[in-house]
Structure 1
Amino acid sequence: MKRITRTAALTAGALIAALGLPSTAAHADDLVPRVDLRVLVVSDGGPAVDAIAAELRTAGTPYTEVDLTRSDRPTVDAAFLADTVDGRPRARYQAVVLPNDNPFPAGSPEMAALASYEQTYDIPQVDAYTYARPEAGLQYPVYGGYAGSIDGARAEVTAAGRSGPFGYLDGTVPFEDNSADVGESYAYLSTPVAGADFTPYVEATIPGRSARGSLVGEYRHDGRRELVVTFVYNRYQQQFRLLARGIVDWMTGGTHLGASRNYFAVHVDDVFAADDRWDTELNCTPGDVDCPDGEGTPDPIRMTPADVDHATTWQNEQDFTLDLAYNGAGSVDQREDNGGADALADRLITERARFRWINHTYTHAFLGCEQDTTVVPWRCATGSDGSTTWVSRTAISDEIATNRVWGRTAGLPLHDDELVTGEHSGLKVLPQQPVDNPNLAPALADNDIAWLASDNSRDPAQRRVGPATTVSRYPMNIFYNAGRAAEQVDEYNWIYTSRAQGGSGICEDNPATTTCLPAPLDTATGYTAHIVPVETRIALGHVLANDPRPHFIHQSNLAEDRIAYPVLDGVLDGYEDLFADNTPVVNPRMKDIGRELQRRAAWTAALEGGRVTAHRIGGTVVVEAPDATAVTVTVPTGTTLAGEAFGEAYAGRASGWTPSAGQALTFTLPQSRAAGPGTAGAGPLPATPPAPVTRVPSGVRDHVPPAR
């Protein structure tokens, strides 16, 4: 029998009383506590806790952070953890995240308070990164386990993990190994202590043995539940991104504010037009502004009907839809130069229903300042008084309206409120144009534009431009001026190598550039061997980060060598290998992405302003939010709102947005999920010593980008 000292027992009794448990004479309904839908995150400043906090923040799940490194932090005691509301005991937090299984000094009353709180209200605890030891339900690694690097390892979700919190995964959890020179992952692999109630959810083979050790598992003891994680990670690493959803699902029981999806949308710019080709001798693009006027001979790249057929076949095979941003003048010019013939446009128009379409302006004109291209780099033209000369409101409006009319005449299924300007022009671009063209907003209003694309690399925050809201897009490092793999590699070498190696020197000037090369790539093999894996990992990282922002490439990348497809296949095939069928890639159009980002911003503002409250009592969840605020919730499948099934099925849960009219929203959980938190358990654990200092390799402290 487990013994508790008299002092500990008295402490337990005092804590249970302080935690607000009702007397045994209370009405039965009063015994069901209220649990607020908020997570307590106790941080030591390490990357693992920071990663979990980032996951909560991105999803829109509220949390309170206690920073153990701050002297002015609140004390974690009974009053901090629980109280009484309207005569009913209230648990202020539905889950607790700790840096390890016990980050407090030996005998800490704060750990005793947390243990008693978790027992009393059946509150789960996540040990973000802890040493494998008996206090966490695992053998010390020296007893047949392992402590060390697991860079490049392939962990597996166990049967219990697949039937439990990690059921959205297909089974394999690969660990990154982006650099042979930098440690990126460190883990303690061990097996459960004999007799411990420990269920491994994610395991990896112990080096040198056939046995497998736990990386993530659930430890039940003394009326408490802990998710024990024995590998270190940061918020960007793929292994964490794969497991983050399950960690949150486990700690919240699948019921929490906020939601998460895996998004991937790809815009193809300049459709119907042609893109100028990179000149491998001049290291610039004749016909474009990076070459001095008159230097070189333009050699345009343009899709063919066969490229359209390939695109439609590819879409069918991948069950994915591309967004084509088109310039109608490209077809008009083609017909004028070829006796009225344009086989590409004919094929695209015939297949128009297979794609989504976005207005990309008629001629792809630059819509910011008037460009002076007599110098490289170009500069804004100025008037006699030195002021910037701007493209006019009329010129901008004509570019938008004429292209819309052309698209309607061709029968393209357009959404008139979406717009991608050529090169995202009209918006600010540094260093030449630090502000938006003042004529842009009025021209957008003239054409009822509500959603305007921006470049995430230079304008990442969603913002208003007149009547429009921006949707920032990720540029993929598949260049607009390359239709062949060798051209792509040559330009990539020039950009990302040193001046001594014949490159641009951008990495010498800006060491923070993440795609720098130690030496030029082989033009025959560099695309497949280096660029494709790097770009795949970067894009897949965005997909796994609950980030809906689209990526963009150009029509040239679907022509000639069709260099975009290996990267797109890498993302989609890689995703399919990782995720179960219940967690498909979400492929939204531009305006839907804009709305998602807009709702998130409003939801975050409401949370940060303290204007949202949510709690659960048994099988009922109540959310209160300001009038006209869209509320986002994740709940078990089968949950109802006002008698109707709520949300959309995703990753084994139901989630979505619902409007608030300023009155309480009441969700009813399915019967199997309706059991409320438990009552008092066996009392608090005796305080245990802190875990040994855990190893954090440099690649976790300072994220190793995929290209290094």
Structure 2
Amino acid sequence: MKRTIRTTALTVGALVAALGVPAGAAHADTTAPRVDLRTLIVSDGGPATDAIAAELDTAGTPYTKIDLTQSGRPVIDAAFLADTVNGRPRAKYQAVVLPNDNPFPAGSAEMTALATYESAYGIPQVDAYTYARPEAGLQYPTAGGYSGSIDGVQAQVTAAGKAGPFGYLDGAVPFEDNSPTVGESYAYLAQPAPGADFTPYVEAPIPGGSTRGSLVGEYRHDGRRELVVTFVYNQYQQQFRLLARGIVEWMTGGVHLGATRNYFGVHVDDVFAADDRWDTRLNCTPGDVDCPIGEGTPDPIRMTPADVDYATAWEKDHGFTLDLVYNGAGSVDERSDHNGADALADKLIADRDQFRWVNHTYTHAFLGCQQDVTVVPWKCATNADGSTKWVSRQDISDEIALNRVWGQSAGLPLQNDELVTGEHSGLRILPQQPADNPNLGPALTDNGVAWLASDNSRDPAQRQVGPATTVSRYPMNVFYNAGHASEQVDEYNWIYTSRAQGGSGICEDNPATTTCLPAPLDTTTGYTDHIVPLETRIALGHVLAGDPKPHFIHQSNLAEDRLAYPVLNGVLDGYHALFTDSTPLVNLRMKDIGTELKRRAAWQSAVRAGQVTAYRVGSTVTVSAPAGLAVTATMPTGTTQGLGAFGTAYAGARSGWTSSTLGLPLVFTVPSSAPAHAVVPGTASVKITVPAPRTRIPAGVSRPTAGTATD
């Protein structure tokens, strides 16, 4: 039976007094309260609140999390939520996130305190995943709505959503359907309850009819505002990633610390060189270390001038710049073998300004330990005393310097402080080489290298190597040793099928990181039907997560069948179909990506350590941070800092980095039209609803749906 509980005027009055809010009848003072730029997340351990917390973590937006399942947690009462600072009422949180519209027992004093606080200070509440019911402003799903899976459904942002918090989206919000055997998305679709002040922001068709039901909408009642979300999600799912920005902008009024943008960068390794080809009979790559010495005949893959023309035309068509990571010796060898001719190098050098260029060492030598390739897999060679034989500092330095000089002589527009070593060598690689080559750091110092690429699949965290800071790169599962789709699929089957199905069994040996295919892919259709959609989804997932790290492929992927382009097209075309022009992809070069990652790490560390405080009073935002720390924030269009505009435009807002001077507070002025928190007289009663029914969470939503490849 549905029950509605109303607090008495005496109870509400006591709560308002405890919150430090001036009562309207007794005070004519309209002084705006101080509202701290921090979110309160109340979690029940479910994936929805965790997803919102992850979004705030990525952006660097401060929050306090309370886990309702933990004993000894803080009690949410008036003192926990608000107090007075220098005679001014202070709201400690600018927004509240609950796992549903009311996760507390009936008659809960904590829910009463939250509702009163939200009403008094104009604090919005996000119901991260709740049942559709009148207490949340919606009809029950049984009243012409729907409860069930919405895997593969195409939701739409409404006109109100586009005019409001989701204006950066073009309209479509596709829900993933990655596995026919796993339920990934569950939702309650319903229309607003009769008489409810409810505005749908995202809707989906109700099966069996012509009406649409709300998935995300705003419910206004009793002086409060709730963002009501009626579908379950985790932080990795595309539908959440698309909506996460709007959820944060709605609950913060567009004024918050932290910022996110969508990035995509693609490095093309081994340019000017050739890549060895996979042998479909031997199931290894002749000429490389995965084949026994003397096994098979090397059959190199190398771009042609026509491939360069295709690449430059593709860049122009997509408004995108590729980073070419080059090995000068590849051209030197080509000219030596062809009487001084190298049509590919001539073409690339002629078109050099169409690309960005990165030093990849002269010969692509392995710069870690000296490899013993008489065994497969290879191992590190050792000295007589059993110590590791390392490539010398001089040899590493020569590889860097020779390639730089070659590139400068060719007129390549280089940044000399960037470096990608061959196979990310010199850095640790398990299991053979558990430590960095001790000669690597000194060689980087010799050559002024400040930014060094690493492989995100084995070295994801940014770290210092001598003078250089690493920039992790995502490997795309478009293989370096495949020029044709049939070769790619054959090798893919070898890696991702069991021994019983003719594969290597690698997927059986490493089930935590690699998923076996249910059956081998067709070598004719497998690339287009399986690999391309999967790799597109993985890469687009990184983009939508606001991850600046670049992806890397190889020059062979731009040659012959040009295997990279279907994946790149899927990412770029897919992105542009989802977002408006106000939210462009950010395409940075390597050192700028490294700078962004480094600033983020410093900022997030300071936020976690409690070294950053920020609050808003009326139209003024004040931020205090350690001297020299780059501060990141998102503000409405029209926000000023000092005498100038703050930040740059992105997704309908302004965001950017700025540094405090001598540790003095930063002051921003938001436009008067920006939503502001205001004290609401505490004389009206506050409606407290009964707890939401337990909502259904399908198995597939608590973690990413299994794929067949890792990053």
Question: Contact 2:508–2:516 (CA<8 Å) still a contact in 1?
Answer: no
- The reply on whether 1:679 has 2:680 as its aligned counterpart is yes
Alpha-carbon distance, 1:670 to partner: 1.4
Whole-angstrom distance in 2 between the partners of 1:560 and 1:609? 52
Cα 1:28–1:264 change in 2 (3 A) is farther
1:318-337 map, 5 Å: 318-337=318-337
Partner of 2:578 in structure 1?
578
Question: Contact 1:453–1:473 (CA<8 Å) still a contact in 2?
Answer: yes
1:654-669 map, 5 Å: 654-661=654-661, 662-669=663-670
1:322-361 map, 5 Å: 322-361=322-361
User: What is the identity, as a one-letter code, of the residue corresponding to 1:655?
Assistant: S
Whole-angstrom distance in 2 between the partners of 1:23 and 1:190? 38
| More off after superposition, 62-71 vs 510-519 | 510-519
Alpha-carbon distance, 1:22 to partner: 3.0
User: What is the identity, as a one-letter code, of the residue corresponding to 2:701?
Assistant: V
Question: Contact 2:17–2:23 (CA<8 Å) still a contact in 1?
Answer: no
Whole-angstrom distance in 1 between the partners of 2:425 and 2:9? 70
Partner of 2:521 in structure 1?
521
User: What is the identity, as a one-letter code, of the residue corresponding to 1:553?
Assistant: I
1:343-492 map, 5 Å: 343-492=343-492
Cα 1:468–1:31 change in 2 (3 A) is same
Alpha-carbon distance, 1:225 to partner: 0.1
Partner of 1:173 in structure 2?
173
Give CA-to-partner distance per residue, 1:156-175, whole Å, 9 cap, x none: 00000001000000000000
Question: Contact 2:301–2:556 (CA<8 Å) still a contact in 1?
Answer: yes
Alpha-carbon distance, 1:24 to partner: 5.8
Whole-angstrom distance in 1 between the partners of 2:683 and 2:506? 63
Alpha-carbon distance, 1:683 to partner: 3.9
Gap regions ≥5 residues in structure 1: none
Question: Contact 1:183–1:698 (CA<8 Å) still a contact in 2?
Answer: yes
Question: Contact 2:6–2:687 (CA<8 Å) still a contact in 1?
Answer: no
Alpha-carbon distance, 1:691 to partner: 1.1
Whole-angstrom distance in 2 between the partners of 1:494 and 1:674? 57
- Could you state the TM-score of these two structures normalised by the residue count of structure 1? 0.98
Question: Contact 1:137–1:193 (CA<8 Å) still a contact in 2?
Answer: yes
Cα 1:232–1:393 change in 2 (3 A) is same
- The reply on whether 1:314 has 2:314 as its aligned counterpart is yes
Whole-angstrom distance in 2 between the partners of 1:561 and 1:259? 39
Whole-angstrom distance in 1 between the partners of 2:317 and 2:72? 57
Alpha-carbon distance, 1:681 to partner: 5.6
Partner of 2:694 in structure 1?
693
Cα 1:335–1:176 change in 2 (3 A) is same
Partner of 2:608 in structure 1?
608
Whole-angstrom distance in 2 between the partners of 1:328 and 1:452? 18
Partner of 2:647 in structure 1?
647
| More off after superposition, 297-306 vs 506-515 | 506-515
Whole-angstrom distance in 2 between the partners of 1:604 and 1:702? 24
The share of aligned pairs that are identical, in percent, is: 76
Whole-angstrom distance in 1 between the partners of 2:100 and 2:5? 25
Whole-angstrom distance in 2 between the partners of 1:425 and 1:6? 67
Q: Give the secondary-structure state (helix, strand or coil) at the position aligned to 1:31.
A: coil
Partner of 1:262 in structure 2?
262
Partner of 2:38 in structure 1?
38
Partner of 2:530 in structure 1?
530
Whole-angstrom distance in 1 between the partners of 2:29 and 2:462? 47
Whole-angstrom distance in 2 between the partners of 1:415 and 1:249? 37
Whole-angstrom distance in 2 between the partners of 1:413 and 1:148? 55
Give CA-to-partner distance per residue, 1:263-297, whole Å, 9 cap, x none: 00000000000000000000000000000011100
Question: Contact 2:50–2:234 (CA<8 Å) still a contact in 1?
Answer: yes
Give CA-to-partner distance per residue, 1:418-449, whole Å, 9 cap, x none: 00000000000000000000000000000010
User: What is the identity, as a one-letter code, of the residue corresponding to 2:229?
Assistant: V
User: What is the identity, as a one-letter code, of the residue corresponding to 2:305?
Assistant: P
Partner of 1:18 in structure 2?
18
Give CA-to-partner distance per residue, 1:79-105, whole Å, 9 cap, x none: 000000010000000000000000000
Q: Give the secondary-structure state (helix, strand or coil) at the position aligned to 1:152.
A: coil
User: What is the identity, as a one-letter code, of the residue corresponding to 2:577?
Assistant: D
User: What is the identity, as a one-letter code, of the residue corresponding to 2:622?
Assistant: V
Q: Give the secondary-structure state (helix, strand or coil) at the position aligned to 1:132.
A: coil
Whole-angstrom distance in 1 between the partners of 2:23 and 2:203? 44
Whole-angstrom distance in 1 between the partners of 2:124 and 2:563? 48
User: What is the identity, as a one-letter code, of the residue corresponding to 1:98?
Assistant: L
Question: Contact 1:261–1:546 (CA<8 Å) still a contact in 2?
Answer: yes
Alpha-carbon distance, 1:513 to partner: 3.0
Partner of 1:705 in structure 2?
706
Give CA-to-partner distance per residue, 1:562-591, whole Å, 9 cap, x none: 000000000000001111110011101100
Partner of 2:552 in structure 1?
552
Q: Give the secondary-structure state (helix, strand or coil) at the position aligned to 2:292.
A: coil
Alpha-carbon distance, 1:11 to partner: 1.3
Whole-angstrom distance in 1 between the partners of 2:684 and 2:425? 65
Give CA-to-partner distance per residue, 1:501-523, whole Å, 9 cap, x none: 11111111111234521111000
Alpha-carbon distance, 1:676 to partner: 4.0
| More off after superposition, 397-406 vs 510-519 | 510-519
Q: Give the secondary-structure state (helix, strand or coil) at the position aligned to 2:8.
A: helix
Q: Give the secondary-structure state (helix, strand or coil) at the position aligned to 2:251.
A: helix
Partner of 1:196 in structure 2?
196
Partner of 2:183 in structure 1?
183
Cα 1:547–1:26 change in 2 (3 A) is farther
Cα 1:5–1:105 change in 2 (3 A) is closer
Alpha-carbon distance, 1:7 to partner: 5.7
User: What is the identity, as a one-letter code, of the residue corresponding to 1:701?
Assistant: S
Alpha-carbon distance, 1:682 to partner: 6.0
Q: Give the secondary-structure state (helix, strand or coil) at the position aligned to 2:621.
A: strand
Alpha-carbon distance, 1:703 to partner: 2.4
| More off after superposition, 155-164 vs 512-521 | 512-521
- The reply on whether 1:228 has 2:224 as its aligned counterpart is no
Cα 1:685–1:6 change in 2 (3 A) is closer
Partner of 1:209 in structure 2?
209
Q: Give the RMSD, CA atoms, in angstroms.
A: 1.5
Whole-angstrom distance in 2 between the partners of 1:109 and 1:284? 67
Give CA-to-partner distance per residue, 1:19-65, whole Å, 9 cap, x none: 11136699977621000000000000000000000000110000000
Whole-angstrom distance in 2 between the partners of 1:351 and 1:29? 68
Partner of 1:143 in structure 2?
143
User: What is the identity, as a one-letter code, of the residue corresponding to 1:345?
Assistant: A
Question: Contact 2:497–2:517 (CA<8 Å) still a contact in 1?
Answer: yes
- The reply on whether 1:238 has 2:217 as its aligned counterpart is no
Q: Give the secondary-structure state (helix, strand or coil) at the position aligned to 2:401.
A: helix
Give CA-to-partner distance per residue, 1:380-420, whole Å, 9 cap, x none: 00011111000000000000000000000000000000000
Partner of 1:587 in structure 2?
587
Whole-angstrom distance in 2 between the partners of 1:493 and 1:25? 75
Whole-angstrom distance in 2 between the partners of 1:316 and 1:116? 56
Partner of 1:627 in structure 2?
627
Cα 1:91–1:268 change in 2 (3 A) is same
Whole-angstrom distance in 2 between the partners of 1:151 and 1:389? 54
Q: Give the secondary-structure state (helix, strand or coil) at the position aligned to 1:200.
A: strand
Cα 1:681–1:565 change in 2 (3 A) is farther
Question: Contact 1:41–1:98 (CA<8 Å) still a contact in 2?
Answer: yes
- Could you state the TM-score of these two structures normalised by the residue count of structure 2? 0.98
Question: Contact 2:22–2:681 (CA<8 Å) still a contact in 1?
Answer: no
Q: Give the secondary-structure state (helix, strand or coil) at the position aligned to 2:301.
A: coil
Give CA-to-partner distance per residue, 1:461-497, whole Å, 9 cap, x none: 0000000000000000000001111100000000000
Give CA-to-partner distance per residue, 1:341-373, whole Å, 9 cap, x none: 100000000000000000000000000000000
User: What is the identity, as a one-letter code, of the residue corresponding to 1:250?
Assistant: W
Whole-angstrom distance in 2 between the partners of 1:681 and 1:253? 22
Cα 1:702–1:314 change in 2 (3 A) is same
User: What is the identity, as a one-letter code, of the residue corresponding to 1:344?
Assistant: L
Alpha-carbon distance, 1:674 to partner: 6.5
Q: Give the secondary-structure state (helix, strand or coil) at the position aligned to 2:552.
A: strand
Partner of 2:291 in structure 1?
291
Gap regions ≥5 residues in structure 2: none
User: What is the identity, as a one-letter code, of the residue corresponding to 1:507?
Assistant: C
Whole-angstrom distance in 2 between the partners of 1:4 and 1:492? 59
